[in-house]
Amino acid sequence: MAERSASPRIAVEERLFSLVLALLATEQGLTKTEVLSTVQGYRQKFVVGGDNTSLERQFERDKDDIRELGIPLETIEAPESSGNNQLLRYLIPKGAYDLPADITFSSAEIAMLSLAATVWRQGSMSGESQRAILKLRSLGIESTEPVIGYAPRVRTRENAFDPLRTALDRHQVVTFVYVKPGGSAPRLRTVHPLALVQYRGRWHLSAYDEGVEDRRTFLLSRIVGVVKVKNRTFEAPTETGLAERALDELDALWQANVARVRVTPGSDAEARLGKRGTRVDAGTDANADAGGSTIELHYTDVDLLADELAGYGPEAEAVSPERLRAGVIARHRRTLEAHAPTEGGRHGN
């Protein structure tokens, strides 16, 4: 028996768009087999008389995505075949899907909305952008307006974002190795993702930690290696506002932590840190007589702040708290040791 040639990869938004068009075009509805064997994105993988279990699961997920868009996908049960899921028919009533008469988009507006959606196409918001593109295309409005000749792209620096977002949407348990602030050895964590939030330019995960049996917040940049999504799911929490709660907790932590940093006047450290912090009044600044000025900074992670301050070299001196000061000094010492000449006159690697 000849092997089947590899199927061309069909983009998610193209498959969903084709499914919407097919379900809009039918009046009687399509069975699951008809969808899988004829619609672009499914038919390339469909095996006649074979095992299509994985393709059926993909169809079930796609139905959920379509409904999340607000598209009224309906299921019709044949009276003579009650209870037979294989004979269920699916369709999208065109009248229920059309835009209200008082809502219209010009071709220029569609062009700009489409461009905005593609900004995140390959970044952290790829799932949302794909669904947005599908919604715009399925409105049936053609755009003849010129747009920018290239699409800007926004990417998250943390590789952990995409698998965590997928697990969050599907309520799947994940494991990852995490370096706790101030800790020396990373630890394996098993968690239930509850919310992903961006706070002051950094992504955080709010999750239930099975190891401590309580909720914890994890900084994505502290996750080491690959996030592993387990086949095990957890019950979705009934409470709402989990993202808002996580942001409130981070904001409370930021407000509570205050550092004092002495900066060299006219330096890059003074210019950058001065925009984020508050200058201490000269009358209460013990460093003023030494020709420097002191800035108060709020922070959420003392080690990240120590990394930043160490990068300014002699332009910034951590005054307090003591843990921050010790962290900056330790980083400077490691730098000196890494560049200290060896006994034979060579520098260390």
Tell me: pLDDT of 5 over 50: no
Q: What is the CATH number of domain 162-240?
A: 2.30.30
- Domain ranges for the chain, please list them: 12-97, 162-240, 257-339
Residue 314 preceded by cis peptide, ω within 30:
no
> Please, how many CA atoms are within 13 Å of residue 12, restricted to the half-sphere of its CB?
17
What percent of the chain is modeled with pLDDT above 70?
A: 69
Average pLDDT over residues 88-111: 70
Asked if residues 51 and 24 have their Cβ atoms less than 8 Å apart, the reply is: no
The reply to whether the predicted model has a pTM over 0.75 is: no
Average pLDDT over residues 128-142: 51
What per-residue confidence (pLDDT) applies to 114? 60
**pLDDT: which is higher, 48 or 139:** 48
326-349: pLDDT as tens digits: 999 999 998 888 877 765 555 544
Asked if residues 268 and 313 have their Cβ atoms less than 8 Å apart, the reply is: no
Asked if residues 190 and 213 have their Cβ atoms less than 8 Å apart, the reply is: no
What per-residue confidence (pLDDT) applies to 155? 46
Average pLDDT over residues 30-34: 89
Average pLDDT over residues 44-67: 86
214-265: pLDDT as tens digits: 999 999 989 998 999 999 999 888 888 888 888 999 999 999 999 999 999 9
